[in-house]
Amino acid sequence: MAKRKNNEGCFSDTIRTVKGKSYKYKKLTITTGYDGATGKQLQKVFYGKTEKECNEKKEKFFNNKGNTVGGGDTFGGYFLHFLDNKRDAFKPSTFERYMGIYNNYILTAPKISNTKLNELTKEQFVNYFKKLKKEGKQPKSLNNINRYFKACLEEAAKDDIIKKNPVSNIKFNEKVSIVEEEESINFIEVEQQKDLIKALQGDELESIILLGLMCGMRLGEILALGEGDIDFKANWINISKSIRRISEFDEEGNKIIDSIGNKTRFKIDTPKTKGSKRKIPLPIALVDKLKGSIKANKLNKLKYGDLYYNKGLLFCNDDGTPLDNKKPNRRLKMILKKANIKEDLHFHSLRHIFISNCVNKDINPRTVMEWVGHSNINTTMNIYAKVSDAKLKESSNLINDIFSSII
C-alpha cells in the first residue's frame, strides 16, 4: 500500500492552544479513521511548541507510518470514511439515508462490520441478507440496502483498495421498481371521491388534500409550493422543489439536536430526478381556494411583522413556518372517517387515485407520466394496470359487444 502524503488519510483535524500557569503549547488532533464496531472516531494527537511543529510531526507520522485507509480497514470503518468524504457532495437527505443504513445494518452486524475490506466475500453478504430475509425483510428492501453497500464498496474498488466489489452482482428475486417502493396502491371510486370532497369543504387543509387528489402531487411538493409557482393566467402549477424533514449529523455520526430539542429540521430542496421538475394543469375548482390561501398569508405577514418566517410558502402555519408534514395524512384519515369511507388510504394514495381518474378519461399514459413526475413509464403503467373496477367492467362489456355479433 502506497504511503499517503501530507494530509491524505486525515479526515479532519483541529488545533488548539493549551495554557497553564507555567506552560503553553499547541495540541493538534486528527481523525485517522473509524472503529467499525462502535462508529467512534480513531484519533491521533501531536504536541509542539508551535503549530508548525505539530504539522511537521503529523507529516512525519503519515510518511513514516503510512497510516492510511486501506484493505486492512474494517467495512464499518470504511463506510464511515466513505460518508465523511461524500458529506459535501450528498444532499442532507441522502446523507441521512446512508447514516440510517450504517446504524441499522452495519453497526448491528459485527460479523461484516468488523471484517477487513480485503477479506470481505460475496458469500458473507449473501448469508447476512438471508438472515435479514428470515427476519421479515422483503426482496425490495434487501436490494435497497445492498444498493448503499454497493456504492460504498464501488468507491473502494475504484481507489484500488479492494480488487473487486463483492456485492456488485447480488440481487434478490425481481428487479425493484420505483412503484414497489411507494405505498400500496389503493383506490376509491368516483362516488366516494365526491363524498370525500364534500366532507373536506371548509377544512383548513382542504386545498392540500385536493391538490393530491386532483393534481397527483406528492405531499412534499405541495408543502414546498410558493405563490410564484401558481400561474393563474395560464392555469398551470410549476413544480421545481420539495420539502422534507431531515436529520443532521456531527462528524462522529451523531444526530444534531437544536436548542429546543428538535432532532430534525425542514429543508426545501430540488427534486432528485429531472422528471420531477414539471408543470401540471391547475383545476379551475382550486383557483379561488389557492387565492384565498395567498390572501390569508399576506394578512398574517402584517400581523406577525418581523416575526413572520417569510420563505414564501403557500401552505404554512400562521407565522409562516412549514406545516408538520404528518398533519395532512392525519387529517385525511379523519375526513375519510367523516365521509364513511372505509378504504385504508394514505396521502400518497391520492396520486394513485389521480392516475386512475386519468385512465378512466383515456388520457395518454405518457402525458400522465409527465404530470405526476414519474421517471419511468413502467411505474405509471404498473398503476395503470390496477384501474378501478368500473373501468375493468367497462372493458369487459366492450369485449362482449365485439364478439356478440359473431358468436
HSE-up of residue 333 (Cα within 13 Å, Cβ side)? 6
CA-to-CA distance for 274 and 374, rounded, in angstroms?
Answer: 10
Burial grade of 36 (CB within 10 A; 0-12, 13-18, 19 or more): buried
**What DSSP state is assigned to residue 74?**
B
Residues near 54 by beta carbon (within 8 Å), at least 6 away in sequence: 15, 26, 27, 28, 46, 47, 48
- What was the pLDDT predicted at 315? 95
Q: Using alpha carbons only, give the angle 105, 110, 111 rounded to the nearest 5 degrees.
A: 105
The reported pLDDT for the residue numbered 85 is 79
CA distance 195 to 297: 29
Instruction: Answer yes or no: are the C-beta atoms of 336 and 196 closer than 8 Å.
Output: yes
* Separation of CA 222 from chain center: 16
Instruction: Give pLDDT tens digits for 80-117.
Output: 888 877 877 888 788 888 988 988 999 888 889 888 88
Per-residue HEC secondary structure of 223-260 comes to HCCEHHHEECCCCEEEECCEEEEEECECCCCCECCCCC
Work out the angle between the directed axes of helices 327-338 and 206-215 (0-180°, nearest 10): 90
Q: Which comes out higher in pLDDT, residue 76 or 63?
A: 76
Mean pLDDT (the chain) is: 80
Kindly report whether the global pTM for this prediction surpasses the value 0.75.
Answer: no
pLDDT tens, residue by residue, 50-61: 888 888 877 776
Q: Which domains does the chain have, with CATH numbers?
A: 12-65 (no CATH), 75-176 (1.10.150.130), 190-394 (1.10.443.10)
Judged against a pLDDT cut of 70, whether residue 285 lies above it is answered with: yes
The strand pair at 278-281 and 242-247 is best described as unpaired
- pLDDT beyond 60 at 14: yes
Closest by Cα among 259, 244, 241, 220 to 95: 244
C-alpha cell at 179: 412503484
Q: What is the pLDDT of residue 17?
A: 84
Instruction: Assess whether pLDDT exceeds 60 at residue 179.
Output: no
Instruction: Give SS3 for 195.
Output: helix
Cα of 396 vs its chain's centroid, Å: 41
